[in-house]
A and B are shown apart, each in its own frame.
Chain A
Amino acid sequence: MNLNQTRTPIHQALVNLKSKRIVPFDVPGHKRGKGNPELAAFLGESCLSVDVNSMKPLDNLCHPVSVIKEAEELAADAFKAAYAFLMVGGTTSSVQAMVLSACKPGEKIILPRNVHRSVINALVLSGAIPVYVNPQYNEELGLALGMSVSEIRKTIYENPDAKAILVNNPTYYGICSNLEEIISIAHANGLKVLADEAHGTHLYFHDDLPNAAIHLGADMAAVSMHKSGGSLTQSSLLLLGKNVDPGYVRQIINLTQSTSGSYLLLSSLDISRKNLALKGKEIFSKVINMTEYARNEINQIGGYYAYSKELINSSTIFDFDQTKLMVNTLGIGLTGHEVYDYLRDEYDIQIEFGDLANILAYISVGDRTLDLERLVGALAEIKRRHQRNKLPIPSFAGYMHPQIAMSPKEAFYSNKQTVKLEDSVGEISGEILMCYPPGIPIIAPGELISQEIIDSIIYEKSIGAQITGTQDMNTEYINIIKEDIK
């Protein structure tokens, strides 16, 4: 890092503004909270006093020239990126900006099938054509994995016209692909590499963690500062490598970004970036140690399996983010859903998620060992009180390579009709259908529905997997593209 990372220009500009006691005859109308006493009492007057609009001393997010510009330069420096954008529309907006910048309508983008919904939604916006790569999954743990290099080489060879490849670094479950190799293959073939690092902010600040995308030479990375970075919900960063034109990306961002970006979010990014730059290593050492401690204690209870880097296989699990406290629960005869519910309903412990076979407890800088003891103690109690015979490993329907009939955008804008799932063979899906675990879409908008797909949906439902995404909450009906349009 070359810049003075103790600086927080946006934060400082807000402090200065406050001290000047300027009389506001501009928006927002709550006028530093005075016009909304109930909200001011709830969120705090100091919070509302800096909920202000863009003005000369505070710069403008759409066209930064002063304090926001400096904050973006500091962020780029802290993350060792060529450029950084402060984002206020969640990491969803960062992902959208990546896809829209890399692909024009009709151009191909290579993606792992287990992308986040926001990526598929970005395809609807951009009109790009997805080319999916089978992420593989670990049957024993019910886990979707990363993309293997050989699979990517094959996909690029088959799609020489593809413009970009998107990689999860890591997945929600903490799994990393061999990004270094993927970047080298992609660049050799003229593809841009986009990294979805919604779960990867911390990778930039600790050598023991998996590699960060930008450090390996990725072209763009969407980084959820509000997850492991400690900023406010909905704030995010978009990082660029050296071969991307920031001016063009700014234009893309401005298509959908608010023209009154929240200074609460912007200052939270500013302060969090400083904190990460100065103390990131120390913070994530602590997180790694806490997670490691909890993992060992949980594994000593017996029955539970808290896994980590031992899963690494040099291909589909190239690396594992050890800050993710993933625990397989089948050994105590309970599904992850059940353990999730017990923890919340009986022990007042809220974890990130539970699926058919696993739970994820999210550990961060805000945790204390004391709280981890509660989690471990509760897991021991759940085992003592609710243990059943070991559950069989659910065998999921195999990966089905999607048959793409039209772009997600075309499908989205087509007229649709609702039919019974069983009657949809040969039709084109108008919606996305996700299955947890392993968290891979079974079908996405614009894809052909086969008998095999319907069978697998019925099967997944029968084993208690969670199916989401369709308009019909019970997934008995599905939206298809109307006959005459097709």
Chain B
Amino acid sequence: MRLHLWYTEEHTQNVRFSIKVKEHLYSKTSEFQKIDVFDSEEFGRFLTIDGLMMLTEKDEFIYHETIVHTPMAVHPNPKNILVIGAGDGGVVRELTRYEGVKRIDLVEIDQIVIEASKEFLPQTACKFDDPRVNIFIQDGLKYVRKKENEYDLIIVDSTDPIGPGEGLFTREFYGNCFKALKDDGIMVNQHESPFYKETTLAMQRAHKRIKESFPIAKVYQAHIPTYPSGYWLFGFASKKYDPITDLRTDEWAGFNLETKYYNLDLHKGSFALPNYVKELLATHE
């Protein structure tokens, strides 16, 4: 008899998303959350936290390239970078491709996420050994509170604002990030989705709070098949640089980075938002 094992995530109370599972590779409950790794035919290995999809081997490139290359193509000289969350290693992997980056401080609250990723997700957790990478197991909000004028770029790769990721969607966090950044610093963040109402409110609130802390607060988008609705937003908050007018086209092209998703046309296009999203962002401002 054939075994039918499916991973199912409720994207809303009325919508389910399922992936047929080949094998349940890992399951552990940490101090903060439940971490699972599965293997599947369609998406390869995938990581879930508290039953919510974090990444799959098949589509993680979209998320990681979008959250990393977009600010890296705008900031003229990003040397010191703070990454909050991102225990799977995907953001670090993309960042280490830039030679100009001198220091990557990764602050992850949950050691277990890093351990599980190192063991089961070598596709993303492959650059933790890079000498520029420093790992801090700590609450991101606490870490950033004690930093001032130190970073060129902060990447907030958080879980949803329920559970340990909650503090990373607050005004105190964004304000502390502002303080931790240099005068021309940029912060990008995972910004939830505008589609289902479950995430819409979190998205609107995050935008409102970022706007309260940063003079430039833009939102951009990517298509991520395994996240609820497949449509996801990112925040681009900045003290000085505009993501479009300050885009350093030639310089970034000169890096000759091979990317599967990100390119400079897409960069510009990703900031062009649908009307309903513009409206959602405006109504909460």
Binding site for B on A (CB under 8 A): 297, 346-348, 369-370, 373-374, 376-378, 380-381, 384-385
Chain A residues contacting B76 (CB-CB under 8 Å) are none
A347 to B170, CA, bound (A): 7
Residue of A nearest to B170 (CB): A374
Most central of B142, B167, B172, B175 by chain A CB within 10 Å: B172
B142 touching A348 by the CB < 8 A rule?
A: no
* Sample of 10 further A-B pairs with CB below 8 A, known A373-B141, A374-B141, A384-B179: A346-B212, A348-B170, A374-B170, A374-B172, A377-B167, A377-B176, A378-B170, A378-B171, A381-B172, A384-B175
A271 to B189, CA, bound (A): 43
B143 → chain A, closest Cβ, in Å?
10
B167 touching A347 by the CB < 8 A rule?
A: no
With beta carbons under 8 angstroms apart, the residue of B139, B166, B176 that contacts A380 is B176
Chain A residues contacting B141 (CB-CB under 8 Å) are 373-374, 377
Chain B residues contacting A376 (CB-CB under 8 Å) are 142, 145
A384 to B171, CA, bound (A): 13
Residue of B nearest to A380 (CB): B145
B136 → chain A, closest Cβ, in Å?
14
Chain B residues contacting A347 (CB-CB under 8 Å) are 170-172
Closest 4 CB pairs of A and B: A377-B172, A378-B172, A381-B175, A373-B141
B208 → chain A, closest Cβ, in Å?
11
Q: B148-180 CB contact bits vs A (8 Å, 1 = yes)?
A: 000000000000000010110011110110010
A381 to B171, CA, bound (A): 9
Residue of A nearest to B32 (CB): A370
A377 touching B164 by the CB < 8 A rule?
A: no
Q: A346-B171, A381-B171 are in contact. Are A373 and B139 (CB under 8 A)?
A: yes
Chain B residues contacting A385 (CB-CB under 8 Å) are 175
B177 → chain A, closest Cβ, in Å?
10
29 contacts between A and B (CB under 8 A): A346-B171, A346-B212, A347-B171, A348-B170, A369-B139, A370-B139, A373-B139, A373-B141, A373-B142, A373-B145, A373-B167, A374-B141, A374-B167, A374-B170, A374-B172, A376-B142, A377-B145, A377-B167, A377-B172, A377-B175, A377-B176, A378-B170, A378-B171, A380-B145, A380-B172, A380-B176, A381-B171, A384-B179, A385-B175
A385 to B176, CA, bound (A): 11
B184 → chain A, closest Cβ, in Å?
19
A377 touching B142 by the CB < 8 A rule?
A: yes
Chain A residues contacting B164 (CB-CB under 8 Å) are 370
A10 → chain B, closest Cβ, in Å?
33
Residue of B nearest to A346 (CB): B171
Most central of A348, A376, A381 by chain B CB within 10 Å: A381
B162 → chain A, closest Cβ, in Å?
12
Q: A380-B176, A384-B175 are in contact. Are A370 and B170 (CB under 8 A)?
A: no
A384 to B142, CA, bound (A): 15
Chain B residues contacting A381 (CB-CB under 8 Å) are 171-172, 175-176, 179
Chain A residues contacting B166 (CB-CB under 8 Å) are 370, 374
Residue of B nearest to A375 (CB): B172
Chain B residues contacting A348 (CB-CB under 8 Å) are 170-171
B158 → chain A, closest Cβ, in Å?
13
B15 → chain A, closest Cβ, in Å?
23
Residue of A nearest to B176 (CB): A377
Q: B206-223 CB contact bits vs A (8 Å, 1 = yes)?
A: 000000100000000000
A144 → chain B, closest Cβ, in Å?
31
Chain B residues contacting A346 (CB-CB under 8 Å) are 171, 212
A239 → chain B, closest Cβ, in Å?
37
Residue of A nearest to B205 (CB): A348
Most central of B164, B175, B176 by chain A CB within 10 Å: B175
A370 to B139, CA, bound (A): 7
A182 → chain B, closest Cβ, in Å?
42
Chain A residues contacting B179 (CB-CB under 8 Å) are 381, 384
A474 to B256, CA, bound (A): 71
Chain A residues contacting B170 (CB-CB under 8 Å) are 347-348, 374, 377-378
Residue of A nearest to B173 (CB): A377
A105 to B118, CA, bound (A): 76
A373 to B140, CA, bound (A): 9
A370 touching B167 by the CB < 8 A rule?
A: yes
A384 to B147, CA, bound (A): 13
A191 to B199, CA, bound (A): 62
Chain B residues contacting A297 (CB-CB under 8 Å) are 142
Residue of B nearest to A374 (CB): B167
Residue of B nearest to A384 (CB): B179
Residue of B nearest to A376 (CB): B145
A168 to B139, CA, bound (A): 38
A369 to B164, CA, bound (A): 10
Chain B residues contacting A370 (CB-CB under 8 Å) are 139, 164, 166-167
A20 → chain B, closest Cβ, in Å?
34
Chain B residues contacting A384 (CB-CB under 8 Å) are 175, 179
A384 to B212, CA, bound (A): 14
B175 → chain A, closest Cβ, in Å?
4
A376 → chain B, closest Cβ, in Å?
7
Residue of B nearest to A300 (CB): B146
A297 to B142, CA, bound (A): 9
Chain B residues contacting A380 (CB-CB under 8 Å) are 145, 172, 176
Chain B residues contacting A378 (CB-CB under 8 Å) are 170-172
A69 to B145, CA, bound (A): 52
Residue of A nearest to B179 (CB): A384
A297 to B141, CA, bound (A): 13
Residue of A nearest to B175 (CB): A381
A380 to B147, CA, bound (A): 11
A464 to B39, CA, bound (A): 64
B206 → chain A, closest Cβ, in Å?
13
A392 → chain B, closest Cβ, in Å?
28
A171 → chain B, closest Cβ, in Å?
30
Chain A residues contacting B173 (CB-CB under 8 Å) are 377
A374 to B172, CA, bound (A): 7
Residue of A nearest to B138 (CB): A373
Chain A residues contacting B212 (CB-CB under 8 Å) are 346
Chain A residues contacting B142 (CB-CB under 8 Å) are 297, 373, 376-377
A395 → chain B, closest Cβ, in Å?
33
- CB within 8 Å of A: which B52-67 residues: none
A381 to B148, CA, bound (A): 12
A374 to B139, CA, bound (A): 10
Residue of A nearest to B163 (CB): A370
A376 to B176, CA, bound (A): 11
Residue of A nearest to B139 (CB): A373
